[in-house]
Amino acid sequence: MIAQRFDLSRNTVGSWVYRKSTAGNSKKRVKLAPLETTFMKEKELSAGEKDSRIRELERALSMEKMRSECLEKMIEIAERELKIDIRKKSGAKQSTR
């Protein structure tokens, strides 16, 4: 099983599969908040609109957290499988390009 081979939880693999399977379905895909939010426009929202906006932002935050966890795990796997350091180490010298 993939989860065992790469030392992942079944939930992580399941969430990756779910995300991939729903990527083309716009009804299930979470839309990220635009740069200029409704609150920045100082528009007064009704209680229902505020609740809806909060749910939208919570879904977007949840997806970004999952994305971050997936990227961290992919880096960890790549470092282990390829036997190279990918993450920048503190105090590392910058290249002079």
The answer to the question of residue 15 being in a domain is no
State the average pLDDT over residues 15-44. 58
User: Is the pLDDT higher at 31 or at 49?
Assistant: 49
The answer to the question of residue 51 being in a domain is yes
pLDDT over 60 (residue 70): yes
The answer to the question of residue 11 being in a domain is no
pTM for the full model? 0.45
User: What residues make up the domain containing 41?
Assistant: 34-82
Percentage of the chain beyond pLDDT 90 is 28
pLDDT over 90 (residue 55): yes
Number of folded domains in the chain?
Answer: 1
For 87, the 3-state DSSP assignment is coil
The answer to the question of residue 57 being in a domain is yes
Distance CA 36, CA 9 (A): 37
Q: CB burial class (10 A; 0-12, 13-18, 19+) of residue 7? A: exposed
Distance CA 90, CA 29 (A): 36
Q: For the chain, where are the alpha helices, taking DSSP H only?
A: 2-5, 10-21, 47-82
The answer to the question of residue 56 being in a domain is yes
The answer to the question of residue 52 being in a domain is yes
Residue 53 near residue 38 (C-beta atoms within 8 A): yes
